[in-house]
A and B are shown apart, each in its own frame.
Chain A
Amino acid sequence: MSDPLDSAYKEFIAECEEHIEELYRNIDELESAVSGGKRIDPDVLNAMFRAAHSLKGVSGMFGFETLSKLSHDLENILDELRLGKRQATQTFIGHLYDAVDALRKILAAGKEDALSDEVRREAVNIIDQLMKTREEESPKGIEESGYDVPERIVSVMTEYEEHRLRENMRMGMNLYLLKAVFDLEDFDERLNLLNERIKQDGGEVISTLPSADEVEPGKIKFELLVGTESALEEVKKKLSDFKIEIEELKKKAEVPPAPAPPVEEKPPPPPTETPVHTTQFLRVEIYRLDEIMNVVGELFLARTAVGRLLERWKREGKDTEDILELERIERSMERNLNDLRERIMEIRMIPVKSLFDRVTRAVKKIAREMKKDIVIEYSGEETKLDKFIIEELMDPLMHIIRNSIDHGLESPEERMLAGKPETGRISLLAYQKGNHVVIEVEDDGRGIDVEKIRAKAVEKGLIGRGEVISEEELLNLIFMPGFSTKDEVSMISGRGVGLDVVADKIKGLRGIVEVKTKKGEMTRFVLTLPMTLAIIQALLIKIGEREFGIPITAVHETIEYESSILRAVEGREVVLLRDETIPILNLEQMFSFSTDGYEPRFLIITGMGDRKVGIPVTDLIGRSDVVIKSLGGVFKNLKGIAGAADLGEDRIVLILDVTSLLEEVVRV
C-alpha cells in the first residue's frame, strides 16, 4: 500500500474508533439512567444514533461492506429508540453493548477481505438478536395537541426533530419561538450558552434555524424552537441577559393574541457572563509527540554542550561580558526547554477515567454473561497518566479482574455463610505517589490461600520443602510463568495464561505489580507505574570506570558506603536502614565486569512500590535529562537494562531498569 493511501486508511480506522467510543460512552450514560430509574436525556439517544449513522457513512465510503451494513442495521434500531418506537430495557442495553463489541471486532479486521466468516456470522447474529429485543411500545395516551408551529420551521425539520416536537407536545410542554441576533464572530458560543441555560431549566432546544432576515453586516439572526415547562414570564426572566424576542406558540384552538410589533433589532450587549469556549481539538498520532520529544532531548544535549563550553572558558579565565551574557541566554534556554518538555508531557497525560470506564464495561458484560452478581466501582479516575501507558494497561487490568471473578469472588451462598453481602465487589483506585501513579484493583473475595501457594511451589520445585520463605515472597510466586493454583480450566481466565503475562507487561512499562491479601476478606493488586516513558531525569553514576544512569524517580536516597553498615542475612548481603532490611545488588557481579580495584563510596537506595534494593557505586556524577532509546536486536531483552541514552560528546550511558533489578534480588 502506498503512503497517502496508508495514511487515509489510518484516518479511516481512527474515525471509526471514535464513533465506536462515542457509542460506548452514550450506552454507559443510558445504562446508568435506566438502572438508576432516571429520566433518559434525549441528547444521549440522539448522540448514539448519530455515532452509528456516521460509522455507517464512513465505512460505506471506504468499501467496508459488512461494517457498513451492520452499522446501518444498528442505526435503524437506534433511530427507532430515539424516536420512541423502542424501549431501553436492561436486556436491550445488554444486547446493545454486545452489538457494539461485535462492530469493534469487525473493525479490528481492518478491511472487508480480511474479515473471517466466523466474526461476520457472529456479528450478524448479535445484531439480529438486538433487533428482536423489542418491548411493547409505551402507550402514547395523550393526544398530540396541535400547536401553531410555523410551516417554514416544520418543513426543514429532520424526522428526529419532529419527534422531539411531538414529545414536547405530548408532555404538555409550553412551546416558544425565540429570535435572537448575535455577532457572527461568537454566535456559536452564545447559542451554546443559551442552550445550556434552557437545559438547566429542564427545557429543550428542539430546532435551531439560521434566519435569512436582513441584519447588520457582521451579525446573524437565529430562530430557536424551545419546549419547556416554564411559563412565558419565567422564561423571559431566566434569559433576561440575552437580547432575544420570545413568542409563545399557542394551541391551534386558542385565538392567538395580536402579535407584538417586532422589536427593533438592537446589537446584543457585550456578554456579561463568562463565554463558553467551543473547544477545538486536533488529533495527532502519539508517535508524533515522541518525535518532538526526541528533538527536545537533542536540544537538551545541545544546551548541555554550551554549558560545558562556558565552564571551560570560565576556567580558562576568559571571563568577559560576552560570556556572562551567554550564560544568561543559556539559563533562559534551559528554563524554556523545561517548560516545553512539561507542556509536551501534559499533552500525553490523560485521566485514567477512560480506562476505568472500559474496564467497568467489560466487567459488567462478564457479569451479565455469567449471571454473576458483581458491582464494580472506581475512584481517583481524574489521576493522569501517559496515554501510551493507559492504552497498554487494559489487558493486564482485565486479566487481573478475570482472575478475581474466577478465583477470588465466592458464590452468593458461600458469601452468605461467611456473613458477607451476596454481591461481590471489585474496586479500582488510582492515585499519584511521588513521580509514580498507583492503580489498585481490589476484590472482597476469599483472598489468596498462601498455604496452597506454598504447596504448589514445592510441587513445582520452586522452593524446597520446609524452606523458610516470607508470605510476601510466596505471594510473588503467582507471577511466575506456569504458576496456577486452580486446576480446572476456567471459561474466563482460561488455562496457561497466568499472571506472569501481567507481570511481564507491567515490567515492560517500567512498572511493578504487587499483591496483598487477607484471607476471607480481600485481594488487592497494586500496580505502580511511571507517569510517562517519554523523557526522564537520570542520576548518573560510576561503577569503576563505567557510567550508568538510574531513573531519578526510582532513587529513594543515597548514603555513604561503609562496610560496617553491611550485614548478612541467610548468606545475602543486606543493609539495615531505619529498621528496614534492604538487599544489596552488585552490578559488577551481575554484568560480570571488573571495577579495576575501585572501592564503592556510595550506596544508592532504589526501588519501586514497596520493594527496595541498594546498589554500591564508585561515584556520583550528577543528573541529566535523557530520552531512553531501546537497545536493538539481541540486547533488547537484556536483564537490568532499560535502554541507552545519548549524553552528547559521544557519551552513551546504559540506563538501569529498576524493575528487573528488583527481580534479580528476589531470585538470588
Chain B
Amino acid sequence: MERKKKVLVVEDSRITRDLIVATIEEGTGAQVVQAENGFRALKLIPAEGPFDLMVFDINMPDINGLELVRFVRESEHLRDVPVIIVSTEGKKSDIQRGFQAGADDYIVKPFSTEQLLNVVKKYLGNR
C-alpha cells in the first residue's frame, strides 16, 4: 500500500491553521502535521519528516516564512519538497520575494478552501 502523504503546515493564527489543516486533511486524505511558529517547525521537520509538501505563512513572530523557505531549499535532504506560501501580503513585490526565496506557489489570503485545495492537490499528485 502506498504511504500516506504528509504535509507540514506552519501558521501562527490558530483559527487559520485549523482551517488549512481541516481543508487538506478532508480534501486529500493526507496526514497533516502543524506548527504554530517557525521554531516549532524546525523541531518537527527532523522529528516528523519526511514531508511531501510544506505550507508556510510569512508573517510569524520568531523566524519568518521566507527564512523557512530558504532553509528548506538549502538543506540537502529537504531541497525537493514543494513549498506553498500562504500570506496576506499580496503585492507583486511580496510574491516576487516568495518565489525568490524558493517557494513553489503563493496563495494570497483570504482564500477559499477550493483555491487552497487546487494548489495543494497539484503538488501532492505529482509526487
Contacts of A188 in B (CB 8 A): 39, 43, 62
Which residues of B sit under 8 angstroms from A191, Cβ to Cβ? 39, 62
Q: B63 contacts which chain A residues (CB < 8 A)?
A: 208-210
Q: Does A431 contact B (CB under 8 A)?
A: no
Taking a contact as CB atoms under 8 Å apart, the answer to whether B19 and A61 are in contact is yes
Shortest beta-carbon distance, A191 to chain B, in Å?
8
A486 CB–B CB distance under 8 Å: no
With A50-B59, A188-B39 already in contact, the answer to whether A210 and B15 are too (CB < 8 A) is no
Q: Which of B19-74 contact A (CB under 8 A)?
A: 19, 38-39, 42-43, 46-47, 58-59, 61-64, 66-71, 73-74
Q: How far is the CB of A11 from chain B (nearest CB, A)?
A: 5
B59 and A212 within 8 A (CB): no
Check A458 for interface membership: any CB of B closer than 8 A: no
On whether the beta carbons of B59 and A158 are closer than 8 Å, the reply is: yes
A53 at the interface (CB under 8 A from B): yes
In the complex, A191 Cα to B88 Cα: how many Å?
Answer: 27
Q: How far is the CB of B109 from chain A (nearest CB, A)?
A: 5
Q: How far is the CA of A8 from the CA of B18 in the complex (A)?
A: 9
Q: Is the CB of B13 within 8 A of A58?
A: yes
- Chain B's nearest CB lies how many Å from the CB of A24? 18
Give the residues in chain B near A217, CB-CB below 8 Å: 46
Partner of A209 from the list B16, B43, B67, B78 (CB cut-off 8 Å) is: B67
Docked-complex contact A156 and B67, CB < 8 angstroms = yes
The total of chain B residues at the interface (CB under 8 A) is 35
Residues in A with CB closer than 8 Å to B117 are: none
Q: Is the CB of B64 within 8 A of A15?
A: no
B101 touches A155 (CB 8 A): yes
Residues of the A chain whose Cβ atoms lie less than 8 Å from the Cβ of B47 = 184
1/0 per residue, CB under 8 A from B, across A91-117: the answer is 000000000000000000000000000
With A211-B71, A212-B71 known to touch, is A58 a contact of B39 (CB < 8 Å)?
Answer: no
CB <8 Å contact, B15 and A15: yes
- Report the separation of the CA atoms of residues A185 and B67 in the bound assembly, to the nearest whole angstrom: 20
Q: Verify if A57 is at the interface (C-beta below 8 Å from B).
A: yes
In angstroms, Cα B103 to Cα A538, docked, is 64
Closest A residue by C-beta to B66:
A156
Residue A388 interfacial (CB < 8 Å): no
Which residues A180-219 have CB closer than 8 A to chain B?
184-185, 187-188, 191, 207-212, 214, 217-218
CA distance A156 to B83 in the complex (A): 15
Minimum CB–CB distance from B93 to chain A (whole Å) comes to 9
Chain B neighbourhood of A218, CB < 8 A:
46
A155 to B100, CA, bound (A): 8
Chain A residue numbers with a CB within 8 Å of B12 are 54
- The 0/1 profile, CB within 8 Å of A marked 1, for residues 70-99 of chain B is 110111101000000000100000000000
A63 nearest CB across to chain B (Å): 8
B125 within 8 A of A: no
> If the complex has contacts A57-B88, A60-B88, are A50 and B61 also in contact, measured as CB distance less than 8 A?
yes
With most chain B CB atoms within 10 A of its CB, the pick from A54, A184, A208 is A54
| A56 on the B face (CB < 8 A) | yes
A15-B15, A209-B63 known; A187 and B39 CB under 8 Å? yes
For the complex with contacts A11-B18, A156-B67, A210-B68, 7 further pairs of A-B residues with Cβ separation under 8 Å are A60-B88, A156-B64, A156-B70, A184-B42, A211-B74, A212-B78, A220-B42
18 A-B residue pairs with Cβ-Cβ distance under 8 Å, sorted by A, are: A15-B15, A53-B88, A54-B13, A57-B110, A58-B13, A58-B16, A60-B109, A61-B15, A61-B110, A63-B110, A158-B58, A158-B59, A184-B46, A209-B67, A210-B67, A210-B68, A212-B78, A218-B46
The list of the 8 closest CB pairs from A to B, nearest first, reads: A212-B74, A60-B110, A212-B75, A156-B66, A188-B39, A210-B71, A156-B70, A57-B88
Q: Which residues of B contact A (CB under 8 A)?
A: 12-16, 18-19, 38-39, 42-43, 46-47, 58-59, 61-64, 66-71, 73-76, 78, 88, 100-101, 109-110
